[in-house]
Amino acid sequence: MCLALPKKIVEISGLTATLQDKRVVRLDLLAKEDVTVGDYVLVSADLAVEKLSEEKALAMAEIMNCDIDNEV
């Protein structure tokens, strides 16, 4: 079973994004969406699987008791 975590994008280069926690993830599944620096994404296995609103990302982080800025 995989766990997906909300994370914030700080840099985008092609189909990869650097997250606030310094991890680099692939954006392949979100290529058709308008994903920009500052957006929140749901990350599973180094792959961004869904774009999230800030409100939803922060609520998920609170429920999961995780820090969006750091690795779990």
For residue 41, what is the domain's CATH number?
Answer: 2.30.30.140
Range of the domain at 36: 5-64
pLDDT at 4 over 70: yes
Mean pLDDT of 5-24: 93
Residue 71's pLDDT is what? 54
Report if residue 30 sits inside a domain: yes
Per-residue model confidence as pLDDT tens digits over 34-71: 899 999 999 999 999 999 999 999 999 899 887 776 65
E-strand spans in 1-59? 5-13, 16-19, 24-26, 40-44, 47-52
Distance between CA atoms of 15 and 62, rounded to whole angstroms?
28
Number of structural domains found in the chain: 1
Residue 42 maps to a domain? yes
Whole-model pTM: value is 0.86
